[in-house]
Chain A
Amino acid sequence: MPSPQRMPSSRRPSRRRGRRSPLATVVLLALGLVFTGSSYALFTATSAGDAATAASQESIDHGQKLFAANCATCHGMNLEGTEAGPTLLGVGAASVDFQVGTGRMPLANTGPQAPEKPVMFTEEDIQAMADYVASVSPGPGIPEEEYLQTTGDATRGAELFRINCAMCHNVAGAGGALTQGKYAPALHGTSPKHIYEAMTTGPQNMPVFNDANLTPEDKRDIITALKYQEEAPSPGGYELGSLGPVAEGLFAWVFGLGAIVALTVWITARSN
């Protein structure tokens, strides 16, 4: 892909006065296209995406075979999509890595939503399919390691999570219901890479949080906050699934009141 750095060198000849080459129009047109194209690429491609572009042809070929055998029934031989599944043109390597890497794809059966399942492929196979899909048409790539570290700002991340994510995933990442049997899954145990990929690709019913919306640093902060919440010991004791007042009320009725009724029965029991 041409880079904007080449522009100044090729622009100089066209500025000369009095000499107008017959190729000037063509060069100008080409320049314009290069400029538009490269700036478009600069603004749309995730900065993380460029890292994973260097895929070997071998891997792409392996991925194509795997794709034809496992995915093409629904997504089409050329990623064009069928009635059973959407097109994969432009979804990028991140989407493949997320969907296959969390076991959501291949789909076991149709339903409101693809549930998380045991992963069906090895790391290499998933990488190969991701390479293949990315080679057909570009899209968000697998994120760079530096944004997957849990060294960001947890305070900021938690605030961003509350504003952008908590309405579906619950403030503690415990998940929540959506309409018609769909749901936002619980986030505990999800790897930083998959969290990042979910934000960039917007799987299932999730909206896309692109880099203009949440910068890679924002995403890293969110991952930091989630991982902190997951790994830090609960200060108040067992968390009852972090589900809030429903779990607390159920516990109070079943175990609290159960214990109290048992004690009243004991207190009023006649001594033998």
Chain B
Amino acid sequence: MTTLNSNATEQQSPTFGFWVWLMAPERRGALLITPAIVLLFAMNILPLMWSFGLSFFRYRANRLNPPEFLGWDNMFRNYEKVTSSSAIWDSFQTTAIIVAGSVTLQVIIGFLLALMFAREFPFRKILLSMVLTPMMLSFVAVGVFFKFFYEPSFGLLSQAIRVFTGEPYILLGTKWGSIWGIIIADAWMWSPFVMLLVLAGLVSVPKYLYEAADIDRASWFRRFRTITFPYIKSLLLLAVLFRTIETFKLFDLVYIITEGGPGSATETLSVYVYRQGFQYFRTSDASALGYILLFVVIVLTNLYLYVVNRRSEEL
């Protein structure tokens, strides 16, 4: 080893000392990931820190005035301002309703679909890939699709209801109609995801346990409680947490289907932040709000990671 090193030192010319140092085999791995790190830093981490800094400044992105520090005494003024406005609490409530409604619906539908697909039946594979399609579409496609679906004059929903009532049906005209419209679109898109996770749990149940339950004459409910549920519960919890985090950040569907309307009836937190930042150009307020949201998501994510780790320990 020592002889090899001394040979290398003899051969290198002083001009290329740094180049040789850089190209040494032990630095090759670091060298290969450097471009990615630089890019990530420039595109992600820097803006993130920049916006974090902005949340302590007075700044509007559509003015030429440079950011102005709020001062050490009231550096949290932006945070105080956004949390004391009633609009954000309305928006928070709307988000909570959409999250609760959509996740509940996804779990119920996803669970039932999983129970159905856990058995063998004709055309199961074809049907399964069809059921999985919504999840693979882009948010914009799903948003536009539902926007047209709910459209009062030619939308399918309105036309179907007109057959019975004779009048066009404007689902997105009312607050609750709009909320339901978004919940249904989101649930339609993401129920297959819950189904996939639950299905993974269902197929991991050993068949002999059900045979033993047959022998032991266990009721349907007891079988579910003692055999099926223990195998799917952690996966189900994962699905619920993951969908809660995602739905909490929901923006695309809402923005395309209702644009937060009517009025601000379906303004979720993400839409609210977007409007603050890019319509009213209250950049520093929006940054502060963005970090409050991030904090909530981080808490939820840690909960998620905790469950993931616990499951991997169980198995």
Are A and B subunits of one complex? no
Q: Which residues of A contact B (CB under 8 A)?
A: none
Q: Which residues of B contact A (CB under 8 A)?
A: none
